[in-house]
Structure 1
Amino acid sequence: MDTLLRDICAFEDLPECIPGEETPMESEEDDEDTIVYRPAFADDDDVPLSTVLKSSTQDESSDDVDAALSTFTEPHARQEGQRRWKKKDNSTTLPQFTEKEGYNADEFVNSDTPTEVFFKYFDKDIREKIVFETNLYAVQKGRNFQPITDRELLGFIGINFMMGYHQLPALHHFWSCHPDLHVSPISETMPRTCFTDILSNLHLNNNMEMPDNNQDRVYKLRPLIDGMNERFAFLYNMKKQQSIDESIILLKGRSSLKQYNLMKPIKQGYKLWCRADITGYIGQFERD
């Protein structure tokens, strides 16, 4: 085979180009005394590194070739070897929890019934705010509305509680004269016209004071939310273990604040963020 290649090169008047042998090349300066030798390959970039090293070290032993290959490392490998890892002390000391825990016993001395406990949270300040804003809204709208009192507001709230578990097909059925629909505790507490008037004028905040660039979507409920959060924090001291998570208030009606989440047990309603302790007591809530 070597003889055939030499004959072909001699026929074409070309230098010998046997693979693996070195071929002389003239330098760029055309200096006759300067000759550069390189392996005779068509494209050096496509030649494996091991082949180049072996062709340039034919006179050396195989151990020397293996040693040369072992010294070759990629750039990122060299950078990895230059890193020096150190241990850093990231231990922190948590402050001692010294706050009081549990409910405020002084505020529940004479609270023996659920209604009395409810009034501790839904206190007189909140009720007076609702009564004032409701009467103000009726005046602003120029409606023929008899101003309500705190007692009437409590009756209105109690009727809504009862309607929650005693349900009828329509609102007017609670004041119906039919014995199978009539509900005496509701009709005896308030006439139907008074109930509907309060329902249509009920307000918790002054619309005239709403800023032009209002970003609070629950502006009309803000006094109630802030007042309830203050009472939650005042009447109960939350425990050390607390968490913040979302909660859904079921709503099947129409509202721009309603959210849908088909992956939740309650798939539609108002979404709130609540802060609760290990007992499940909610000390603060805010709309999403």
Structure 2
Amino acid sequence: MDSDSDVYADDLSQISSDAEFPDSDSESDEELFRPTRNRVLPIPSSSDSEDSDDEVLDWSTTDKVPIIEQFLGQSGVFVMPHNSESVIDVVKLFIADDFFEYMATETNRYRAQNPDAFRDRAKSVKWKDVNVVDLKQMLGLLLLMGRVRKDTRDEYWSTDKTIQTPIFAEIMSRDRFRLIWYAWHFSNNDDRDGRDRLKKIRPILSYFTNKFQEVYKPERELSLDESIMPWRGRLSFKVYNASKIIKYGLLIRMVCEAKTGYICNFRMYCGVGSRLQDTILNLLKPYCNLWHHIYMDNYYNSVATCEILLQNSFRTCGTIRVNRGLPSCLKNPKLAREESIFRRR
């Protein structure tokens, strides 16, 4: 990534501010990300408006110094590389050979499950089971394609001297690359779980989530936010936000270490509705009862959410919308310059 701002904090936020999305009695993600077609599933609703005719009576005007509990977690790197100065050894902490072995197994399985779709043709290379080296070479070529831009994929193997890039043919033949590309798979098609829309990539998501949590434990301050992975292909749970540079993509909610931007946990939205509080608790579950401090924007924050997080030993800080449980005196205050108002509960 080019910079830390691509990973965490408010620079990531694809949620527009209150000026762009005025408050209403029923908050929902559909106000934030609108599908381009009716076929696109609605984004799960956030926590409902907490406005009530019954004013909460236990808000106090008496200020006091809060008691900040001691952080009980242990932060730092828990899995060390063989050589901390070797980039390859550091990468292997997150993408080890078992990752490539798993993909090779599923790719070969998919090829065996669909022999008719991969019938050897007279002019094509014959199929040979994929191994770890093959997949590493293919992924390396895919990364290189992002740096060396051409109009079509086959042009990377062109022998035309005006556009020739010899490294591709030296690493892998064009036909071999094609065969692996079409058979590349991440899960067993026989394991049918119609309820999980991410079943095709669920093992890969679980692999990286576990790695992120095993290799490094974050410090006390965490950032709760979201990111958009650019995508314009056909996908039922693709989201759309006209006010952002990245208008189409996949919504990923994540918890990051506030200081470094290290991704601690993430969940990809897949069109299945759930309460926003449930999503937040699901993301923060690995860090419960350690007295982490959670920083979030007004999309996630509410009085009820703060109460639930406090019960799970989280302290919170963030902006808040007026219809998220605030007392009436804080909703439309008439304040002079440098004047402030507060309520404590």
2:250 matched to 1:276? Answer: no
**CA drift at 1:95:** 4.1
**CA drift at 1:182:** 1.6
1:284 alignment partner, SS class: strand
CA RMSD of aligned residues (A): 2.3
Structural mapping, 1:1-288, within 5 Å: 95-104=69-78, 107-142=80-115, 143-144=118-119, 145-211=127-193, 214-278=194-258, 279-288=260-269
Higher relative contact order (CA 8 A, sep 6+): 2
**CA drift at 1:177:** 0.5
* 230 and 177 in structure 1: CA distance in 2 versus 1, 3 angstrom threshold: same
The unaligned stretches of length 5 or more in structure 1 are 1-84
Contact 2:218 2:257 in 1 (8 A): yes
* 147 and 180 in structure 1: CA distance in 2 versus 1, 3 angstrom threshold: same
**How far apart are the structure 2 equivalents of 1:220 and 1:203?**
8
TM-score by length of 1: 0.64
**How far apart are the structure 1 equivalents of 2:133 and 2:82?**
24
**CA drift at 1:94:** 5.3
TM-score by length of 2: 0.54
1:209 alignment partner, SS class: coil
**How far apart are the structure 2 equivalents of 1:86 and 1:276?**
33
Contact 2:225 2:255 in 1 (8 A): yes
The structure that has the greater radius of gyration is 1
Contact 2:82 2:89 in 1 (8 A): no
CA deviation map 1:58-80 (0-9, x unaligned): xxxxxxxxxxxxxxxxxxxxxxx
CA deviation map 1:140-184 (0-9, x unaligned): 001343210000000011001000111101111100001222212
Amino acid at match of 1:99: G
2:229 alignment partner, SS class: strand
**CA drift at 1:90:** 11
Amino acid at match of 1:110: N
1:181 alignment partner, SS class: coil
The unaligned stretches of length 5 or more in structure 2 are 1-56, 120-126, 270-345
Aligned length: 201
**CA drift at 1:117:** 2.2
CA deviation map 1:112-137 (0-9, x unaligned): 34333222211122211111010000
Identity of aligned residues (%): 27
**How far apart are the structure 2 equivalents of 1:237 and 1:86?**
37
Higher helix share: 1
* 1:49 counterpart residue number: none
**How far apart are the structure 2 equivalents of 1:87 and 1:244?**
26
Amino acid at match of 2:106: E
**CA drift at 1:271:** 1.3
1:269 alignment partner, SS class: strand
**How far apart are the structure 2 equivalents of 1:264 and 1:114?**
34
* 141 and 263 in structure 1: CA distance in 2 versus 1, 3 angstrom threshold: same
